[in-house]
Chains A and B, each alone.
Chain A
Amino acid sequence: MPGALVVENISKRFATSAGALAALEGVSLAVPQGRFVSIIGPSGCGKSTLFGVVGGLVPDYEGRVLIDGAPVHGTHDDIGMVFQEESTFPWLTVLENIMFPLDARGMARNECRERAERLVHLVGLDGFGNSYPAELSGGMRQRTAIARTLAAEPKILLMDEPFAALDEQTRLLLGDKLLQIWRELAQTTLLITHSITEAVQLSDEVVVMTYRPGRIKRVIPIDLPRPRSSEIVESAAFGRLVGTIWHDLREEALRGLAQTEPQGVSH
């Protein structure tokens, strides 16, 4: 199953009431087939913008997005997206949510159901297939959204801070779940996060972004052994990697803070 993702020299500007805002500037990165890469950066650095550009939801950018060497425009069947915001359909049950993309493709109803039931099991929601999102916890809703995206069998999985709204423990445990799914399905994965531990726990490579305009500051290979579990956070190697990333991220986060705090604005 191919599915190599290349992002080439992406720049994106937004027209705002305060003039043009450079959200991304010359961002290039590559996620080889079957690899897990995380992007980390301070709030407002353009991570969601990059996610939207790669997924084909944000128009009018410079640069190219390539899948297996071919440039793509707009949304693409090979790409599955999991969004930062709450995105389950509240009027559908967990099972119906997961069946949604299959239904939309016109897949036979019982085949849809079968595949959706397998995914319910894969994301650990057994017994909740007939529950509505309002009856679930935030983490369960996010797992439903992930299962829904996986149902379409994308070759490349893009996730924008899927666990941002969850507490640290849940996040670590869902990270384990995610790794288990990734091992099983072997998708090329690009995860956007602002949690250093999450990035180190999961990835082959962590890409650190600068504060506005979003550029790539550094790419840090994570050479921790696989298969990993969340217990890896205890290891010294894990701690060193977290330290290295924080060193880079700290500068950018401070810059972001200085620009958004009123007293920090000095022109």
Chain B
Amino acid sequence: MTAERHGRAVAAGLVGLAAVAALLEFVIRAGLVSPLIVAPPSSLPQAFALLAREGYLVAPFLITMAQAFAATALAAAVGVPLGFILWRRPLLGRAYEPWLGAAFAAPLILLYPLFLVIFGRGYATTVVVGALAAFIPIVLQTRAGLLGVPPVLINVGRSFHLSEPRLLWKIIFPAAAPAIFTGLRLALIYALVNIIGIEFLIDFGGLGRVVSQMYFQYQIPAMYAAIVLIVIVSLVFLSLLQRLETWWRPR
């Protein structure tokens, strides 16, 4: 029943997408927007074929995927414990929460020359910038999730004589899981945006670089095809995260 409902939601989403594509196609064909600025959706199959011919399809896709994964994993490995500490030490939490919240708005990507100097023109730079952008939402959401755990659930655990680690692992973290996963989803998106941005700027790596090359070669449909691929990377990741969440916490 839920699978059926899920299927219907996906179908509805695709119908909407098709409608937007049709509208774009119409607007471009009618001459309201130049095809040199926006590629008509009907040109995408050919564009994908072009990318595939030039070897720009699979490898960049995998490279961007791997970087986004590495950056998000790194950010989670640092961000979840940090969020935990900011929860455990309320003074630290109150002290640093506003700073982190503000730093969230910093256009980290504009500091890319600095990271180039430190890490060189390589994957270390893209992954570190991605992770830096990603760890803030994880810290904030982890802390907020832990703060939001109903005290009564903790009391239930204490009334059952749970040890401190068990209390954390069996009650507190599962209770905070939805917020933490929201943090991970945001983190993934921030990591991906920043990684693509750097790839674009330094002409290095995966799909961001393909976008920049197609742009400078004036292959507008191929550029849009690369952007579609980026969206697919994020779709794949978000659905993996969804799976991980329902596996760990079914409700």
Contact = CB atoms under 8 A, between A and B. Distances in A.
B159 A77 contact: no
Interface stretch (A33-41, A84-92, A195-203): A84-92
A54 B162 CA distance: 18
A149 B160 CA distance: 8
Contacts of B29: none
Given A83-B155, A89-B153, A134 B160 contact: no
A79 B162 contact: no
A89 B171 contact: yes
A79 B170 contact: no
Interface in B226-251: 249-251
Contacts of B177: 91
B159 A79 contact: yes
Contacts of B166: 104
A57 B250 contact: no
A91 B249 contact: yes
Interface string B152-184: 110110111110001000110011010000000
B159 A55 contact: yes
Given A86-B152, A104-B166, A81 B251 contact: no
A148 B156 CA distance: 10
A57 B158 contact: yes
A85 B249 contact: no
B81 interface: no
Contacts of A89: 153, 156, 171, 174-175
Contacts of A24: none
B122 to A, nearest CB: 41
A91 B250 contact: yes
Nearest to B170: A104
Contacts of B170: 100, 104
Interface size bracket, B side = 10 to 19
Contact of A87 (B152, B161, B249, B250): B152
A101 B161 CA distance: 9
B22 to A, nearest CB: 39
A169 B150 CA distance: 28
Nearest to B157: A104
Given A89-B171, A91-B251, A104-B166, A81 B159 contact: yes
A104 B160 CA distance: 8
Contacts of B161: 75, 77, 104
Interface in B60-88: none
Contacts of A104: 160-162, 166, 170
A80 interface: yes
B174 A91 contact: yes
A57 B249 contact: no
Contacts of A148: 156
Contacts of A87: 150, 152-153, 155-156
A148 B174 CA distance: 18
A128 interface: no
Nearest to B171: A89
Contacts of B152: 83-87
A55 B249 CA distance: 29
A77 B166 CA distance: 17
Contacts of A133: 251
A88 B158 CA distance: 14
B251 A57 contact: no
12 contacts: A57-B155, A77-B161, A81-B155, A87-B150, A87-B156, A90-B251, A101-B160, A104-B161, A104-B162, A133-B251, A148-B156, A152-B160
Given A75-B161, A100-B160, A101-B160, 16 more contacts: A56-B159, A57-B155, A81-B155, A83-B155, A83-B156, A84-B152, A85-B152, A87-B152, A87-B156, A89-B175, A91-B174, A91-B177, A104-B170, A132-B251, A133-B251, A152-B160
